[in-house]
Chain A
Amino acid sequence: MNMTDMTAVQLSAAIRAGETTAVEATEAVLARIEEEDKKYNCYVTVDREGALARAKEVQAQIEAGDLVGPLAGVPVALKDNLCTQGLLTTCSSKILHNFVPTYTAEAVRNLIRAGAVILGKTNMDEFAMGSTTETSAFGPTKNPRNAEHVPGGSSGGSAAAVAAGECVYAIGSDTGGSIRQPASYCGVVGMKPTYGTVSRYGLIAYGSSLDQIGPLTKDVTDCAAVLEVLASHDEKDSTSVTRDDTDFTSALTEDVEGLRIGVPNDYLGEGLDEEVKTAVLQAAEVLEKKGAMVERFDLSLVEYAIPAYYTIAAAEASSNLERFDGVKYGYRTEEYAGLHNMYKKSRSEGFGEEVKRRIMLGSFVLSSGYYDAYYLKALKVKALIKKAFDEAFAKYDIILGPVAPTTAPKLGESLADPIRMYLGDIYTIAVNLAGLPGISVPCGQDSKGLPIGLQMIGDCFQEKKLIRAAYTYELCQKKR
C-alpha cells in the first residue's frame, strides 16, 4: 500500500478498516516530506512530533469507535495564514516570523473535530499577496510537476504539497484566485466556496470581504468531503452564513443531464494561451457529450474586474495590516527613537515589497480627497459585476472557462512587472468580488507537460452543481 498516493477518503477508509493506522500514514507522509521538501520548499513549518502524537491519539479514537468520518486519521497541511494554537504561524512574513497563536482558526477546529492530523504549515505569498509564492520571506516554493516553474499562489505551498504527496490534502485561502490558480498550475483540485460558507475566524485577514478558506485535494471526492467538514456557521465571524445544504458529498454523482453551461467569450479572447484554450473547450465538449447544454455567451465587464479588485483588496489590506505595529506580537526593529519611529521602522523592515506596495495603494485610495474617485467607484463597479453574474446565472447553472491564461510561468519571471502579474488573475478575480463559488479541476497538460486547469463557477450557494459537474468530468477523464 503506497499511502502517499492515496486520496484522503481512500486512506481514511483503509485506516478504519484496520489495513493501516493513522500513525503509519503520518509516518509515511513525514518520510515523503523529509525526502522531497528540500527540492520544493512547500512547508514553512513541519510539526513532526505534534503530528505523530496527534496520530496516536486519533488512532485510539478511531479504534474506540469515536471517530467515524471520512477524514479521520488523515494527515493535512495548512496554509500558514491559518492560526494554530501553539504552532508557529508566519503568513510567510518576517513581521510574523516568531508568532505563535493563542487560538486555532474555526475551520481548522472543524478539521480537528473530524480527526485530522496536522502536519505543518505551508509556504505562501507574503500575507497572500501574490500569484507565484515568490513573495514569501522564506524563499519560493517550486512546482513539483516541473521544479523550474512556480507552483502559483498565493496558496502555492498547499497546492505543491498535495502534488508532491507531501500531505494527503491541504487547506488554502482564496482572495482573488489563490486556491484555484495554484491548483491549476500544480494539477490538483481546488475550490473556493461561496463567501460566508467557511468561518474566517483565525484566518489572518488580507481582503476581508473577499477572503474564503477552501480545500486543495487530489480529486473531486476529497474536495467535497473536506468542504463538508470545513463549512459551518460561526458566531465569531459576523459574515458567516447559516446553510443547511452543506452535505456536499451527496453531490458526488455522475449526472450532468440538462445542466446549462455558459462559456463566456470574454474568457477565451486575447491573452489566452492556445493550448489552454483547446484543453478547456475539449472539457466543455466532454460535459456536452454527457448531456449538458453548452453555449457561448458574453459575460461583459470582465476587463473591469482587475482594477476594481486591486482597489478594494488594497484598501482592505491597508486597514487589516495596521495591527502589525511591533507592540503586541511579531517583529520589532532593534533601534528606534520614540513610538512612531518604532512603528514605522518595524513595519518597513518587517513587510516585503509587494505587501508595502499594496498597503500604500490602499492607504491612498482610502484617503480623503481620493476615497470617492477610487474606493467608492470600485465598490460601484463591484455591484455592476455582481449584476452581470446574476444575469448570466438566470440563463446558466455553471460558467465554464480557464483558471488562468497560461500554465505555470518559470521562477523569477513574474515579479518584475506587477501589473502584468495582476492580469494573470483575470478569470478568477471576479468570482471573489461577486462572492461566488468556483472550482479548479485538472484538464490536461500543455506541450511542456505543465498542468492546465478548468474553472467552473456557480451562483451563490450552488457548490453542489459544481461538484456534480466536476465529478462527472473527472470520471470521464479516468475512463479515457
Chain B
Amino acid sequence: MANVISDETIEYVGILAKLELSDQEKEQAKSDMGRMLDYIDKLGELDTADVEPMSHVFPVQNVFREDVVSNGDDRERLLSNAPQEKDGMFMAPRTFD
C-alpha cells in the first residue's frame, strides 16, 4: 500500500467529519482510506496541466430570484422533528459555561 494513513491524519479526519471512532474503527478506516487513495492515485497518470476543473456540466452561473417570502410559517411542524425543543426553539446542549 503506497498511501499510509497515520494516526494523526485519521484523528484530523475524525474532527473534520465530526465522527468519533473506536480504536478498531480507526484501524479499519486507516486501511480503507489508504487503499482508496492508492486507487484514486491512478488519476495522476493523466496530464491535466492545461485542463480547467469542471464542477458543473452546464455553464449555469448564479441563479437569482426576487427576495420574496413564498413559504408559510412552518415553525410547529419543523419543531416536531427536533430531538429537543423549548419555547418554540431548537434545544442544543450547553455550548459554554
Contacts and interface: CB of A to CB of B under 8 A. Distances in A.
Nearest to B80: A100
Interface string B27-51: 0010011011101111111101001
B21 A460 contact: no
Given A328-B82, A338-B95, A339-B94, A364 B13 contact: yes
B25 to A, nearest CB: 8
B81 A330 contact: yes
A195 B59 CA distance: 12
A363 B39 contact: no
Contacts of B4: none
Interface stretch (A24-32, A66-74, A381-389): A381-389
A418 interface: yes
Interface of A (DSSP majority class): helix
B86 interface: no
Interface string B1-27: 000000001001110111111000100
Given A339-B92, A377-B43, A196 B58 contact: yes
Nearest to A343: B18
B39 A342 contact: no
A383 B43 contact: no
Contacts of B56: 209, 239
B contact residues, range: 35 or more
Contact of A360 (B13, B44, B55, B95): B13
Interface of A: 98-100, 102-103, 195-196, 209, 235, 238-239, 241, 301, 303-304, 306-308, 310-311, 318, 322, 325-332, 336, 338-345, 347-348, 351, 356-357, 359-367, 374, 376-384, 386, 418-419, 434-435, 460
21 contacts: A235-B65, A239-B58, A304-B45, A307-B40, A318-B16, A326-B83, A327-B83, A328-B90, A332-B84, A338-B94, A339-B95, A344-B20, A347-B20, A356-B29, A366-B16, A367-B13, A374-B40, A376-B53, A378-B43, A379-B54, A380-B46
